Amino acid sequence: MSKASDTPRSLRVAVLTYSNRRTGADDSTGDLIRAQLIAAGHRVAASAIRHGDAPVMREFLRAWLADPAIDVVISNGGTGIGDCMPEAAAPLIEHDIPGFAVLFQVLSLEDVGSSGMLSRACAGLAAGKLLFLLPGSANGSRLAMQRLVIPQLDTTTRPCSLAGLLADE
């Protein structure tokens, strides 16, 4: 794992909301994620609301991961037992970050009890970029962003951060 830097770095983040019901006017979870990113000094490089089966979503993610103007992709929604985002992302992930899923389930247990075990939130390194799959619920995504994602996107986090794995611009 890369060491922490003394200089904060503003990352370019794409935010995907997986939903067949949400629109730009009522994407509360996407809005929450974008607001937290901006408050932490990062830039929202792209944003979209999409829905489809695993192959469709995989190709959408693949396009963002290939975009040199994007450092990190954060998806919300589609991580439930009957949903497809983990399956869509799995072939793209070169290095799984299992600790993310474990820590999120522990935090979820504290927040929502045994229902936390149903989470399939996950993270990994894909095409040299960070990829996070978060739940569609605003509370679940807020928890993940505040406790796990935002601290790890901070290049000054000690002793190390996931952001330190990214190549410099």
pLDDT at 4: 66
3-state secondary structure of 47: strand
Both structure tokens of 83:
């949903």
Helix runs in the chain, H state only: 28-39, 54-66, 85-89, 98-112, 138-144, 150-153
Domains belonging to the chain, first-starting first, are 12-145 (3.40.980.10)
Phi, psi of 141 (to 5 degrees): -70, -40
Q: Compute mean pLDDT per 10 residues along the chain, 169 residues long, and list them.
A: 72 96 92 98 97 97 98 96 95 97 94 88 97 96 97 93 82
pLDDT at 3: 58
pLDDT at 152: 97
pLDDT at 2: 56
Distance CA 29, CA 106 (A): 21
pLDDT at 169: 52
